[in-house]
A and B are shown apart, each in its own frame.
Chain A
């Protein structure tokens, strides 16, 4: 079943890389968003998947009942999702500010501060 995700991850990475290589700032940000999806799914998939068995200890039990989805990658991904959101929000604000200041979203035209 991970095999499907392997191709989804590859597709997302390809889309993300393509968008990151655009000259337009806004397209780059879409690439960034796709990249975080791809990375999260990568962590998820390589830790192996378990269908429909969340890592929740049932009432009365003291331990997880096997089989269960691995909670550790989930914890990592949860952090990652939130951090990506922070980065995304900041990047969007930065893009907005940059456009207001420079009047362009073409990365090639933004060299004024870099020389």
Chain B
């Protein structure tokens, strides 16, 4: 069932573009059927998870690598799955209206379903490697969806940034998961969690946790990787609501919750996870105050919320984990709603600038109500669900290990939520009407747009009012995170405890800050670029590109001889270095077996070669080259290779004739290189020559592997009826090689003919040499 649930999303992704064209306006409603069905399915699986016998599916994929298609729907997985499909249904419906008429709507749905399926995979996977595969798929679909408006440069940049950061984190995650799996001896998450403390004392624990945390932090936009999330607001608003608030950015948090029974509870975990979470939380809360764009405001507050979740997981007590799971649910409900509201405002008024919005409740009463509910939940007012989650977070902080500092940072985050909630959910709808015509005459959108935020707001309210039922309902999810069965009791009234006093303080300070929001914004917006870390990323990316370019310019500079120089120098260094350091240059035994005329032949060749390379006259260079060739053929003749000598002699004569013919048309030799370049080339050439000599000497010092020539000698006369063994080899034993050789000659002859005889007539393909280009400094 789980496999089918995930697979259906991928199938839908394939069908979506075609269906979108057919269905037109109804597309959103029809497409929503799938996520709604899945929501019902997962809701049905709840009781099994609550009984401690979650539904599982296992299918072998690559068993050798420990990779199997195994899925497990326990409490935490189902909580996520329900968020993914439930909010997914609303977003699918909303997206159809929001992007109505966009020519790429089919593509939008396609990637949306890919994402939904991949995210379900992350939530339900019971195999570390499988989880990674889906994890990367979510990054990829996020990239495509952020870059949906790919004709705008900022969208492309934001998409690339998100991909680089989450993709880079994904690589770290893979390494961490592999270390974890190798250390534990299993890649099945359920088996891993069953081993309990074993993972924490494994020597691979520290590197594994470090790498996994990098993956989780990048995905969940934790400091110092937080900046991609506000930039990802380039995505269409339904995507921001879905991926970048309710689900995908919580994948990191999910992973931490999931692995916390196995990896959590150590000092390292508490310090790093808690510390990073606290930093992110405060940073997000402060930076949010500087924003005027509705979506960026929400994005920074999402960063802050993700920080709070991470912090709670870092604290790691059952209380804190319970608070984390409850806050995760509350946040998904209210933040999803607020994003969708922001989209409606953008859609109806044409602006997302909070300074230009106000008094919209007259035109958009339903949206105003939905926004109000979500905002009150976010601010943590009873009887909404946000109130309960905030009380739990405060209680966890009060009981946590961090003392007053911890309590202070959590309260700061709470204050930030109040201010943001008021700015996004309340200020645009109440207060003075702006003079702006377009804003003032905005009116209520269609039902498919307001239905999503309304349902989510009502869910926030319902979950608050029926807190007791919800408590029983999230119990299994908390149990997955703590690793032990727990009973969660949620209630609106916890008595007059310290958390309640903190809540009142939060509201009071939040209200004050909201009143003073303009001066605060002005003051902070100057700090924003410094704290944004975006600049650091840009600088890093620029630096990387500069290094790549410089390296390419250096190694791929277009000079043929530079490439040759590099190849030769590398060979000298690697082969020569190895020869000298590892093997040592050999020395053949029969050194003294040298006859005088052999030395003469050798000397002749060397002198001829020297003349060929030093001569200033073309003719003498060619003559010397010919002399060297004839010297080589003498060597062949002397050492029992008459066929070679003959061929070499003929070919050498032909080559000399060709050289003379061609050089007649070519310019005189001139010295083009500088003396320095010549000196460098001489050194390189001598080193290369010396290396070859050393190699030959070394080879000669070791015994020769028996040649197969004995076989050729024995069968040449008997079977091939030829007495010249070399000829028999060429035309018989290796006849196909010779056929290939003839083919090469034929091709070369055709090429020569074409080069000499054919003249380009079409000026468009004509002279390749462009004088203007060659003179501009190249």
Contacts and interface: CB of A to CB of B under 8 A. Distances in A.
Given A44-B639, A88-B655, A71 B712 contact: yes
Contacts of A52: 638-640
| SS class, residues of chain B in contact with chain A | helix
A107 B559 contact: yes
Interface string B673-700: 1000000011011101111111011011
Contacts of B667: 99, 104-105
A55 to B, nearest CB: 4
- Of residues B659, B692, B729, which shows the largest number of chain A Cβ atoms within 10 Å of its Cβ? B692
A79 B665 contact: no
B639 A37 contact: no
Nearest to A102: B769
Given A22-B673, A71-B729, A86-B744, A5 B564 contact: no
Interface in A75-115: 75, 77-79, 81-90, 92-97, 99-115
Contact of A89 (B559, B658, B770, B778): B658
Contacts of B636: 44, 77
B725 A15 contact: no
Contact of A5 (B635, B654, B673, B685): B635
Interface in A25-61: 25-31, 33-34, 37-38, 40-42, 44-59, 61
A14 B690 contact: yes
B713 A85 contact: no
Contacts of A47: 704, 707
B726 interface: yes
A87 B658 CA distance: 12
B48 interface: no
Contacts, number: 320
A64 B598 contact: no
Given A4-B602, A33-B625, A97 B756 contact: yes
B651 interface: yes
Interface in B683-733: 684-686, 688-694, 696-697, 699-700, 704, 707-710, 712-714, 716-718, 723-726, 729-730
Given A2-B588, A51-B638, A72-B729, A94 B755 contact: yes
Interface residues of B, number: 108
B696 A5 contact: yes
Contacts of B644: 44, 74, 77-78, 81
A57 B729 contact: no
B443 interface: no
Nearest to A14: B689
Given A63-B717, A70-B707, A79 B629 contact: no
Contact of B685 (A15, A41, A101): A15
A1 B598 contact: yes
Given A2-B700, A19-B613, A112-B769, A7 B726 contact: no
Given A14-B689, A27-B669, A72-B712, A101 B700 contact: no
B693 A7 contact: yes
A20 B666 contact: no
A111 B557 CA distance: 11
Nearest to A65: B713
A21 B560 CA distance: 8
Given A2-B588, A30-B621, A55 B666 contact: no
A86 B745 contact: yes
Interface stretch (B298-306, B479-487, B604-612): B604-612
Contacts of A86: 744-745, 747-749
Contacts of B681: 17-18, 21-22
Interface string B630-669: 0010011011111110011001001100110011011101
B723 A57 contact: yes
Contacts of A111: 558, 773-774, 778
B748 A90 contact: yes
Contact of B684 (A21, A44, A54, A85): A21
B673 A105 contact: no
Nearest to A96: B662
B769 to A, nearest CB: 4
A77 B776 CA distance: 46
Given A24-B670, A78-B647, A90-B752, A9 B696 contact: yes
B696 A85 contact: no
Nearest to A85: B651
A40 to B, nearest CB: 7
Contact of B755 (A12, A30, A33, A96): A96
B104 interface: no
B564 A21 contact: yes
Given A1-B594, A14-B685, A92 B745 contact: no
B666 A105 contact: yes
- Of residues A20, A21, A106, which shows the largest number of chain B Cβ atoms within 10 Å of its Cβ? A21
Given A21-B561, A86-B745, A74 B688 contact: no
Contacts of B632: 37, 40-41
Interface in B581-627: 588, 590-591, 593-595, 598-599, 601-602, 605-606, 609-610, 612-613, 618, 621, 625
B696 A82 contact: no
Contacts of B709: 55, 70-72
B446 interface: no
A23 B564 CA distance: 12
Given A34-B612, A96-B665, A100-B665, A3 B651 contact: no
A82 B643 CA distance: 12
12 contacts: A1-B598, A10-B689, A17-B688, A21-B681, A28-B561, A33-B625, A45-B700, A70-B707, A83-B741, A85-B654, A102-B768, A103-B769
The 8 nearest A-B residue pairs measured at CB: A14-B689, A10-B693, A69-B640, A64-B713, A86-B748, A18-B685, A113-B768, A102-B769
Interface of B: 558-561, 564-565, 568, 588, 590-591, 593-595, 598-599, 601-602, 605-606, 609-610, 612-613, 618, 621, 625, 628-629, 632, 635-636, 638-644, 647-648, 651, 654-655, 658-659, 662-663, 665-667, 669-670, 672-673, 681-682, 684-686, 688-694, 696-697, 699-700, 704, 707-710, 712-714, 716-718, 723-726, 729-730, 734, 737-738, 741, 744-745, 747-749, 751-752, 755-756, 767-771, 773-774, 778
Interface of A: 1-31, 33-34, 37-38, 40-42, 44-59, 61-64, 68-72, 74-75, 77-79, 81-90, 92-97, 99-115
Given A46-B700, A68-B640, A72-B709, 4 more contacts: A21-B564, A26-B618, A44-B641, A64-B713
